[in-house]
Structure 1
Amino acid sequence: MVRAPRCCLPLRGTNKNINVEISESKWTKEKQETQNLKMKLNALIVEDEANSREILRNYLAKYCPTVNLVGEAATIKEGLALINSKDLDVVFLDVEMPFGNAFDLLDQLPDRNFETVFVTAYNQYAVDALNAHAAYYLMKPISIDELIKAVDYVSEIREKERVIEDRVLTPKFNKVDGKITLPQQDGFQVLNVGDILYCRADDNYTELHLEKQKILVSKTLKYFEEALSGYTFARVHKSYLVNVNEIVRYKKGKGGSVVISNGKEIMVSASKKKDLLSFFE
């Protein structure tokens, strides 16, 4: 499901050498009680400066009791390892780090199922953060109010997503007879795997495209790639998984493109071209 860009960018002037400085002037008991009523968020900090990690950790614990910090990383490599091993709601992410930046990390996670809050001393990355679907962009030094707003905004997004997940379909695969069962309010729908023409990533959801129907499912494209690994499906692009049996034409190019039986043309990533063509050898 495509949402409007999730961002709120309070760009504050700052010196890049300042880490995190939070004023307690506006913090009240009422605000803390309000925080306590909100949903819990599993969080990760990815920040190369130990002092910044410590300060952010301490203030999240003090002012954002809904945040459950499950890990910290000092490098992109460490961050990727933790992200892939944890069930996360939000990642607090510094932009500039040794051996790369935050966007290098996010580029390696096309099927993200968490929100991102950038915490940085550099305001020139605001547009890039917006394009990366960041939930919030915090400038150092951070005020309590901005920190709370960021957490509240993420809580709001995650709560809406959970409500939506209760309404959309979660699939169950039966590999014995090649069928997918999709629960519905009045029963369930049974699909033959072979009836799926292609799957398209839509944020944290996936659209299943059939000949005359499109179904939104509350699973990532990566989930379907793994679940359909025993069938003739190929990941041709970060956003597309296609039924090879429904390909009627391949057009040459750096990666090329495929035309599906319903006339849909889908670009093929150069890195996926070899795997796709292996189906036709």
Structure 2
Amino acid sequence: MKLKAILIEDEANSREILRNYLKKYCANVELLGEAASIKEGLELIEKNKPDLVFLDVEMPFGNAFDLLDQVPDRTFETVFVTAYDHYAKDALNHHAAYYLTKPINIDELIMAVEYVEEIKAKEDNLQEKVLNTNSKNIKGKLTLPQQDGFQILNVEDILYCKADDNYTEIFLENKKILVSKTLKYFEDALVDFPFARIHKSYLVNVNEVVKYKKGKGGSVVVSNGKELLVSASKKKEFLSFFD
């Protein structure tokens, strides 16, 4: 697929370098425009509805995070390009698909583009359609340790699990159960069933997902109407359930 992209970078020399790299090594990227400021960048985003934005962190009159905060319902992926590596955590919190440091490594640039291309291809295939597989024939039970013994659940009855420090909340259709086990414990226990770790806080029953929404990292809606965030780092793995 062809990725529609824009480049937001205040340094003309840096724009030229990245533009040339994309032209030479990333033929699947169509560069629609360039901007040298947050204001110009926002205008380009609104006008072009890109799939991908290459974004420098530090710019005059603000930074990349100021720009992203003004696009709360964005559907594009973001690749940060910066000379500083201490913004990596903020980039992750703003659901960046990739983080490149200057001088740009060509192999890393190619990997970033391929990663975004794969995500966008999967999203385009889904296109907001209902994701419920209507497959309710999961065989299996899960034993939950409790103070006075244990409880047995049918795996298919679990909608999703939510982390609560060293505890996990298990959500069923009409109730939730608090268990003194970590979310990682249930991720391992349910590895043979269609459960996806979509976020550091959520493990979701894929058969209960009824809708996928594009966004910063994306989100899913499960059968009880609850909307759960999908982190950027987990998006690819989650979408692979629907190949």
TM-score interval w.r.t. the shorter chain? 0.5 to 0.7
Mapped partners of 1:43, 1:159: distance in 2: 15
- Residues 72-98 of structure 1, C-alpha deviations (whole Å, 9 max, x = no match): 000000000110111211000000000
Shift in Å, 1:219: 6.9
Are 1:107 and 2:102 matched, yes or no?
no
Give structure 1 stretches of 5+ with no counterpart: 1-38, 170-184, 186-212, 221-238, 240-263, 265-281
Match of 2:48 among 83, 86, 100: 86
Are 1:52 and 2:14 matched, yes or no?
yes
Are 1:76 and 2:41 matched, yes or no?
no
Secondary structure at 2:127 match in 1: helix
Q: Is the 8 A contact 2:75 2:214 kept in 1?
A: no
Q: Is the 8 A contact 2:77 2:96 kept in 1?
A: yes
Q: Counterpart in 2 of 1:120? A: 82
Paired residue type of 1:57: R
Q: In the superposition, relative to structure 1, how do residues 68 and 124 fare at CA in structure 2: closer, same or farther (>3 Å)? A: same
Match of 2:5 among 7, 23, 43: 43
Are 1:146 and 2:126 matched, yes or no?
no
Q: Percent identity?
A: 69
Are 1:131 and 2:108 matched, yes or no?
no
Shift in Å, 1:125: 0.3
Q: Is the 8 A contact 1:168 1:218 kept in 2?
A: no
Mapped partners of 1:94, 1:49: distance in 2: 9
Secondary structure at 1:92 match in 2: strand
- Residues 203-233 of structure 1, C-alpha deviations (whole Å, 9 max, x = no match): xxxxxxxxxx99526577xxxxxxxxxxxxx
Shift in Å, 1:107: 0.3
Paired residues in the alignment total 145
Q: TM-score, normalised by structure 2?
A: 0.55
Q: In the superposition, relative to structure 1, how do residues 60 and 214 fare at CA in structure 2: closer, same or farther (>3 Å)? A: closer
Q: TM-score, normalised by structure 1?
A: 0.48
TM superposition outliers: structure 1 runs of 4+ over 2 Å:
166-169, 213-220
Paired residue type of 1:123: D
Shift in Å, 1:62: 0.5
Q: Counterpart in 2 of 1:98? A: 60
Mapped partners of 1:89, 1:68: distance in 2: 10
Mapped partners of 1:218, 1:124: distance in 2: 30
Give structure 2 stretches of 5+ with no counterpart: 135-207, 220-225, 227-243
Answer with 1 or 2: which has the greater Rg. Answer: 1
Mapped partners of 1:85, 1:150: distance in 2: 24
Secondary structure at 1:161 match in 2: helix
Secondary structure at 2:87 match in 1: helix
Mapped partners of 1:42, 1:114: distance in 2: 9
